Structures are given as structure tokens and as C-alpha cells.
Structure 1
Amino acid sequence: MSTYETIKNLCKQHSIAVTALEKELGFGRGSIGKLRNGQTSAERLQKIADYFNVSVNYLMTGEEKEVDPYALTSKDERDIAKDMENIRNKLLNGSDGPLSYDGEPIPEEDAELLLGQIELMMRRLKPINKEKYNPNKNKK
């Protein structure tokens, strides 16, 4: 199976036209069709692979289906980093009041430990929530 046929099958499975995929990814019309001749950049293949949550190897060979649909993606990593920055700013700036436990102020070193635990929790819960709240899990 060629790379183009693999992408075409993925489009069919996800109910999206090839032209709609091109538009979604910001490619020119017919750019995915050029894959029939093997003409594309690794960058474009990576964008397509990220869109369908498969590896570039899968696009090129048709083997190795989706690894883990609930694994953290680069977007998830950015979201977690953004959330952690907001939490860090609120905790350390004291914008919502001083950080304390049982009426005692928490030292800054301990606040960093707390932030580390919050980040660990977010990384563990993200895949669980992706599975639990996946809107497409019941679609066939």
C-alpha cells in the first residue's frame, strides 16, 4: 500500500475528505495527491501523522497502527506547561492569598514540591480523561 493510499484510508476511517485534510493542515490543493509520486517533505508527513495520531512509519509502510490514542501529544504537553505556569504564578505571587497549610505559611521550597506533584497528577490524569471523555469512542 502506498503512502497516498494509507492517508486516503485514514481519511475514510475518520470521515474526512482528502481535500478537507489539506485545507485543515494548511496545504495547497493536490499536495497530498503528489504523494503518489513520492513528492513531499518529512515536515508534511509529520503533520499528517500528528493529525491522525499515527507514526510517519505507519503512513509510509501501512504497518504499526496507532500506538496509543491516549498518550500525551505535543499539544497536551503545551497545555500542561501553560496550566502549570498559571498555577505557579498564582501560588508564588500570592494573588489568591498566601500559600499555607493548617494556618502555617508554606516555604517556597515546599511550594516547588507541591507544584511538581500537581504536574505529575496532570500528566497521569490527561490520558485517563482523554479515554473517559473521548467523544468518538462509541462511533463505528
Structure 2
Amino acid sequence: MTTFDRLKKLCEEQKISIVELEEKLGFGRNSLYNWKKKTPNGSSLQKVADFFDVSTDYLLGRTDKKRYYDLTEKDEKEVEEELERILKNSESNFGHAAFDGNIPSETDKEDYEMYVAAMRDAIRLHKRLAKKKFTPKKYR
């Protein structure tokens, strides 16, 4: 996938045209279409990356991760392991889980699923924030 293809995909996701993007960024007409044939200069590439909140490496096709702080498969596995540890720990601390295996009603089942989803989201958010804060600039 070329730089222009990635740019086009990002525009489609944001529901804007390439011409609109050129206007918003103050680029000349058809300047982004030139990315089909040649590699963009650094400042133009950085402006587009900042606009879409993606890395320049993603735009250039060096990585499929849009942002350096996106979670990898390994990170997702660690999230699930941490969630499992938290759920088991809550059972051992209180003698039983707040939501044990014998859920008596649909309401309690929904509450449990919402609790687990909230915990999973909190762990993911924590991992992303840690990556943002502690990733050295040379790897961003």
C-alpha cells in the first residue's frame, strides 16, 4: 500500500475528500495527489500525520500500527492476563467474588459483563497511557 493509498483510506475513515484535506492543511491544489508518484517531503508528511493522529511511519508504510501507543497482540494478551488476575484476586480477598459463578438473574449477569468490560477498558487505557508517557522519542 502506497503513501497515497494510506492517505486516501484515512480520508475515507474521516469522511473528507483529499481536496478538503489540502484546503484544511493549506496545501496547494493536487499536491497530495503527487504522493502517488513521489515520496512526500518531511513537513507535509508530518502535517498530515498530525491531522490524522497517526505516525509518519504508518503513512510511509513502514508499520501497520497507526500510532506508536496502539496495543499489540502481546499487549492484548497481557491485558487479558491482568484482568484474569484481578478477577481471581477479588475472589480471594472477599472469600467470594462480587459476582460469583452462580449468577441468579439476568440483571446480575449483565452487571458482571459490564464490570468485566469496564475493567478490561481501564487496563487497556492504562497500557496506552504508559506507552505514551514512557516510549522514548526515537521510537515514536
Normalising TM by the smaller chain, what interval? 0.3 to 0.5
Which structure has more relative contact order (CA 8 Å, sep 6+)? It is 2
Q: What TM-score do you get using the length of structure 2 for normalisation?
A: 0.46
